[in-house]
Amino acid sequence: MSGSKVAGRYAKAILDQAQEAGVQDAVFTDMQSIAQTIDGSKELRLMLQSPVIKIDDKKEALEKIFSNSASLTQDLFRVLAINERMQALRYVAARYIDLYNEEKGIQVAHVTTAVELSEGLEKEVLNKVCELTGSNNVTIENKIDPSIIGGFILRVGDLQYNASIANQLGSLKREFSKSL
């Protein structure tokens, strides 16, 4: 069973329970926090993946780190611990976010830039994405990747537009190598 299937099943179950309890927005906020925290902490990622650290210690650490989270989120930690799936937490959080956005009809535009978007530029990108998709229910997720040098990469659903300097340099390199 692949990790994405496991994450999808846990995320769907949590979303269903959250909807029944009317706390899907609170759990969504928790899942965003979990995803951002795990992405931002190499130590936390290593701890969750480590076979050496006891499952109960992992669960206890998560309960302390995310002590302000909804009881349903705390229950998720316990279920993942019981089933020895703590390493899947990041993927469960990401899948929950995706399912929540689908449920609410929210499209997510992934924008990769070399530096963080300014507030004004973020609004311009948001307006352009709304115009392109025909939807006013769009959010922007900005990822910083200095390797693209400059410009941006925009991905909305299956569509991708690469206007990065690194991509343009790669195209020039291919053109020069073809002409030699």
**Averaged pLDDT in 10-residue chunks for the chain of 180 residues:** 79 97 97 95 95 95 96 96 95 95 90 91 86 84 91 86 89 87
**CATH number belonging to domain 3-102:** 1.10.520.20
Please name which of 65, 100, 92 lies closest in space to residue 76, comparing C-alpha atoms.
92
pLDDT of amino acid 90 = 96
Please name which of 3, 20, 14, 34 lies closest in space to residue 96, comparing C-alpha atoms.
14
pLDDT of amino acid 3 = 65
pLDDT of amino acid 135 = 81
pLDDT of amino acid 127 = 86
pLDDT of amino acid 1 = 38
pLDDT of amino acid 133 = 79
Chain mean position to CA 134: 23
Residue type, 103: E
Q: Where are the domains of the chain?
A: 3-102, 106-179
Phi/psi at 117 (5° precision) = -70, 140
